[in-house]
Amino acid sequence: MNSISVRALLVRGMLAGLAAALPALAVAYLLGEPRVDSAIAFEEAHSHEHGGAELVSRTMQSTAGLSTGVLVYGVAFGGIAALAVCVALGRIGRFGPRATAALVSLGALVAGYLVPFFKYPANPPAVGDPSTLDQRTTLYFLMVVLSVLLSVGAVILGKRLAPRLGNWNATVAASVAFIVAVGLAYAFLPSFNEVPEGFPATVLWQFRLAALTVQCTLWASFGLVFGHLAERLLAPRPTAEDQVAATGATGLATAERP
């Protein structure tokens, strides 16, 4: 990979992230926002404090605010994932650009979201003690960092075991090591159960399921779009003119033979 290819892939990754954010935004608006409204209604009904004027209206939050957040998230992580593809291409196996993009997207979803999510799932408004917010935020990002580092370590372990165990057995061994390490992190890191009494379990479940669906939509869309763009850049298909020129060159070489 030269600097020109890396820069071109970075730009394509950001564009792919923007494109992937659009269906994720639709999912977030259709599935997530109604649950947020339900949680806010519960919070207001059980709050004994009278809030002042809103700095940002709920309508603005659910439209422009949501759109800005999801689109910026998609562009930023699209660029990061594109750089990860540059590093992984040719180093994790004999995979082409499209397959490498799919594997990196899957790894980003699992290591960057699913593993932390199952330890510290997303909460709607009214769920969670405000006094533990900083602690919960710190632990969540710690879990993200641990998950990413452990996934990188699992890939390195699998590559080192492959010559002795074979690709399949090495992959299984590395996966087991990753699961065990994540399980230990789950066991030693503190947990939180701060759902207020009377909060509808259906709203909580549907909100978390919507958050999970948004991430799955984002990374699946990114893998498909960026894989296509990366393959067109790094492994372009020959055009009709190239095929004609190649055929002519082959014919000329055959005619020149004694």
State pLDDT tens for residues 135-170.
Answer: 999 999 999 999 999 999 998 998 899 888 888 898
Return all residues near 142 (Cβ < 8 A) that are at least 6 apart. 189
Can you tell me the mean pLDDT for 81-107? Answer: 86
- Percent pLDDT > 70 in the chain is 87
pTM of whole model > 0.75?
yes
Q: What is the DSSP letter of 31?
A: I
Position 237 pLDDT exceeds 70: no
State pLDDT tens for residues 194-206.
Answer: 888 888 899 999 9
Average pLDDT, the chain: 85
Could you tell me if 189 and 142 are in contact, meaning their C-beta atoms sit under 8 angstroms apart?
yes
CA atoms within 13 A on the CB side of 195: 15
Residue 22 CA to residue 45 CA, distance in Å, equals 34
Residue 216 CA to residue 72 CA, distance in Å, equals 17
Return all residues near 156 (Cβ < 8 A) that are at least 6 apart. none
Cβ neighbours, 10 Å, residue 245: 12
